[in-house]
Structure 1
Amino acid sequence: MSETQAKKSDSAKDRVVGATARWSMRLLALIALGVSALLFVIAVTEAKAPGCTGDSPCDAVLSSSWSYWMGVPVSALALANYVVMIVALFQLTSADMTRRRVAWLVLIALSAATAGTAVWMTMVMYSKVHAFCPYCLVAHGCGLLIAGLVAFVAPVGTNLRSSPAFSVRPLPAGVAALVGFVTVGVLIAGQHGPENDEFKPPSIVPVESSAAIRVLKAGTEDAVLDIPFARMTFKISEVPVLGSRSAPHFIVSLFDYTCHHCKIMHGHIGKIRERYGDQLGFVALPVPLSPGCNPSVKVRHEAHQHACTLAGIALRVARASPAVFEQFDDWMFDHKKAPDPKKALWYAEKLVDARELAKPEVKAWSKDQIAQDIRLHHSLSRKSLPVLLIDKPRFSNPKKTEDLFVVIEKTFGIEPVSAETD
């Protein structure tokens, strides 16, 4: 074979390799785009993806502060990244040489950012959250493969596999890669920033639509909360309550102090109470998301490792001194993440005599109450947290906080005591 024929053969092989790589990158980018879109929908609607129930490693990742950047879902950034990447990928065969060079520089920058982000977020899942999200891993895997293909076929200097007659100068390519890696640094800095946990309220608030909940002898010391579908009753005087125990109406709140979404729900409950005053009370029933005390939870992960202990401390406070439970409950949710048991007990003993908290009958009651709360939660069709049980909800999953006001006012026939709703 002559030298000319060999060069033609190599050129043909390069074109085949380049075309295969381009279509492979397009396919991978489309897959990553689809996964990112799904994760974005989950982030903004508080919906649950298959396999991402309230006690799953997947939910632990998606509900952690690491899934946000300066209050913005990381999936939104990924979505924008892959949209631009796909546009650039389809410009690689443009007849306009300038457009092709720009497309390659954009791809080099984005692939560097994507690879760096994939490595960083995987490290976060391993070392910070101690759980893995399969959807995230699929997207990160696609990103790493795209980055590898870009490095293999990008026509930088003598690396001309994608187009022997076309190249991108090394200096602009290096600058593009540097920009991509700097972007990763910005992401990391934003996740460590002070606004990292300042999330927007959820646009979908879980409301269990089930048989009516009744308050018998409302407004008296003998008031009883009757939950027919669970075949359970709770004496209002004996359970933790936010608001007035003599309120004519009650909503049941099922939550976990280690649950990120429950922290957001706590803020909503505060707004509801401010709006309706003593017309409405909340029965606060902690449901620990830990297999240590909750047999319905099958997966153990670090985010909820102290859930049982924290719930027990809160209930002991509620039992020993009901008047200070609300203060303790607010304090528990006033942290970026749940305090450890030692700190929680320290604060509890500031509010209540330590001897009262340590009484065997108080500890026994808190243990029994947790078991009842878990049984109530297990009876629901919705197994995630948080959950609000309203007397006669007209619908589930309101799209915004104000929808809860509508449900409450229609259900209980009450009006705001304050015009302030924001």
Structure 2
Amino acid sequence: MSANISPTSTAHNNIRSWLFRDMKPFPRWPVTLLLAVCTSVAIGTSSYLMWAHVTASPIAGCGGGGGWVDCEGVANSRWSLWFGVPVSLLALGIYLVLAAALAIAASERFSRRVRKTGWTIVTAAVFAAGMSAVWFIAIQFLLLQHICLYCMLAHACGLIAAATMVVAGPLRPKSARVIAAVSVAGLMILVGGQMLTRPPATFQIETFDVPAGEAGMEELDTFEMTPPGQADQSDEGVEDGFFEAPTAGFITMPSMLFFGVVDAGSVQAQPPPQRIAVIQGGAAKLKVADWPHIGPSDAKFVVVELFDYNCPPCRETFETIRGARSELGGQVAIVLLPVPLNADCNPSIKETGPRYVDSCNLSKLAVAMWRLDQDKFSSLHNWMLGGDQPPSYAEALAKANTMVDPDALKAELASGVPDQFIARHVALYRRVGEGSIPKLMFPRTSVVGKYTSVKGLIDLIRREGG
């Protein structure tokens, strides 16, 4: 009596026989060891990235603030998900399958037929890992222009493993090409899923429970403002990370900083309105009139923004702010504090990305323009953020020289005062937690990241900016 053999079983046997036909000798131990090392490293990095995603923990030792090395920027991008599933989980799954298949393929305890199956699975897994690595490396370099060191380490392992199997794998070329074609199909599914995945939110809203008016001011030390075009001759030092000089004074109290700049050389008959901008529940306070701003210094509503002229999310948020200002008119003032994402003037940035090379100079130029002519500052600020691409420093300087006296601008830039302002902006950036920009800050609320809803911002300003 003959056994019944299903067509499906027959097809599986035929495919397996075709793949195994003329299989080359199994790789020697150095190949197996190299694959094991690559797999172990990739499992470790993928596990850590998965843990960071699940726990919403910062990724250790990997830049930040939008620099070239910025794991947070990569991990929070749309390309970190596949239909809502973290790609680190997919990578972890591939490498765990690879590890199990490699353990079977390399062990002499199993039959040759089982080991052949193991090596076939190893080949498929490393090809999938290698092709995915090419895709994600291209995404980081070409689209995000940020790299994640942990991701790059895992991708390097995938590429090394794939190259190893091409050179020393046991499958014959025809079989390897079939496995590669299946891996390409899998990659297309990955890419398609990422294209169809809804991008994650580009911003987060932080709230602060400390009432803004609880902490009063005991004393405020004021200093004479260095007039535009004159170098500061003060020998004041640095305390608690904040520059204290004749251009600015501050007083430190528990959980509160007061930033103030007093212009003693002003030609105005009346002192400027003392509208105070409070942020993070009273953790910091700024006199609107004493800092670069657009809009009336005594406006009903105030927003404090930390940004970089070269930061793409900042440029998109600028359009939202412009729309909100058009609606609110003179009711709102925007305190504009450029924070360069450049290690030359911002200690929080460990490595300067290529797009931020001019950030320090552009920020100082903006402050210098504000010091010389606040109306012209508004025009220059809008011009620098309003185009499709940020201007180079040479272009911005040429533009500024057509708006004010070039000699006065040169003297102001050489005075060192714009540098002091930028140092204070950076100090405030560090005090409020560093991380992503732009930051739109109100007394009880901060919006961190790209914000593109004009109506949402108007509602937020009316609700939180008073």
When the two structures are superposed, what TM-score results if normalisation uses the length of structure 1?
A: 0.61
Percent identical among aligned pairs is 20
Q: Who is 1:234 aligned against?
A: 287
Q: Who is 1:135 aligned against?
A: 150
Q: Who is 2:464 aligned against?
A: 411
C-alpha deviations, 1:117-160, integer Å up to 9, x for none? 587689x59xx97x974323332243235425644774412xxx
Q: Can you give the 5+ residue segments of structure 2 that lack an aligned partner in the other structure? A: 1-23, 106-112, 214-257, 261-270
Q: Which of 61, 74, 79 is the aligned partner of 1:73?
A: 79
Q: Who is 1:5 aligned against?
A: none
Whichever of the two has the greater Rg, that structure is: 2
**How far off is 1:37 after superposition?**
4.0
C-alpha contact (below 8 Å) 1:107/1:150 kept by paired residues: no
**How far off is 1:387 after superposition?**
2.8
Secondary structure at the counterpart of residue 60 of structure 2: coil
Provide closer, same or farther for how the CA distance between residues 308 and 136 of structure 1 changes in structure 2, counting only shifts above 3 A. Answer: same
Structure 1 residue 353 corresponds to structure 2 residue 404: yes
Q: Who is 1:49 aligned against?
A: 59
Provide closer, same or farther for how the CA distance between residues 370 and 253 of structure 1 changes in structure 2, counting only shifts above 3 A. Answer: same
User: What is the letter of the counterpart of residue 34 of structure 1?
Assistant: S
User: What is the letter of the counterpart of residue 139 of structure 1?
Assistant: A
Secondary structure at the counterpart of residue 358 of structure 1: helix
Secondary structure at the counterpart of residue 204 of structure 2: coil
Q: Which of 350, 354, 366 is the aligned partner of 1:299?
A: 350
**How far off is 1:310 after superposition?**
0.5
User: What is the letter of the counterpart of residue 380 of structure 1?
Assistant: V
Name the CA distance, whole Å, in 2 between partners of 1:210 and 1:308: 33
RMSD: 5.5
**How far off is 1:248 after superposition?**
0.6
Name the CA distance, whole Å, in 1 between partners of 2:323 and 2:116: 56
**How far off is 1:340 after superposition?**
1.9
User: What is the letter of the counterpart of residue 134 of structure 1?
Assistant: L
Q: Who is 1:279 aligned against?
A: 331
**How far off is 1:375 after superposition?**
3.8
Q: Who is 2:174 aligned against?
A: 171
Q: Which of 432, 439, 442 is the aligned partner of 1:390?
A: 442
Alignment of 1:5-404 (within 5 A): 27=40, 30-35=43-48, 37=50, 48-52=58-62, 54=64, 59-60=69-70, 63=73, 72-73=78-79, 79=88, 82=91, 85-86=94-95, 89=98, 103=121, 106-107=124-125, 109-114=127-132, 116=134, 124=141, 133-148=148-163, 150-151=165-166, 154-157=169-172, 170-174=173-177, 176-177=179-180, 202-204=202-204, 212=212, 221-225=272-276, 233-236=286-289, 238-270=290-322, 272-273=324-325, 276-294=328-346, 296-297=347-348, 299-303=350-354, 304-334=356-386, 338-350=390-402, 352-355=403-406, 358=409, 360-361=411-412, 364=415, 365-382=417-434, 385-393=437-445
Provide closer, same or farther for how the CA distance between residues 314 and 112 of structure 1 changes in structure 2, counting only shifts above 3 A. Answer: same
C-alpha contact (below 8 Å) 2:130/2:159 kept by paired residues: no
When the two structures are superposed, what TM-score results if normalisation uses the length of structure 2?
A: 0.56
Secondary structure at the counterpart of residue 323 of structure 1: helix
C-alpha contact (below 8 Å) 2:293/2:334 kept by paired residues: yes
Q: Name which of structure 1's ranges 75-84 and 263-272 shifts more when overlaid on structure 2.
A: 75-84
Provide closer, same or farther for how the CA distance between residues 48 and 328 of structure 1 changes in structure 2, counting only shifts above 3 A. Answer: farther
Secondary structure at the counterpart of residue 82 of structure 1: helix
Name the CA distance, whole Å, in 1 between partners of 2:325 and 2:31: 63
Secondary structure at the counterpart of residue 391 of structure 1: coil
Q: Which is richer in helix? A: 1
User: What is the letter of the counterpart of residue 359 of structure 2?
Assistant: A
Q: Who is 1:161 aligned against?
A: none
Provide closer, same or farther for how the CA distance between residues 135 and 207 of structure 1 changes in structure 2, counting only shifts above 3 A. Answer: farther
User: What is the letter of the counterpart of residue 464 of structure 2?
Assistant: T
Provide closer, same or farther for how the CA distance between residues 401 and 310 of structure 1 changes in structure 2, counting only shifts above 3 A. Answer: closer
C-alpha deviations, 1:279-328, integer Å up to 9, x for none? 3321001123335444x447352543322210111123333332343443
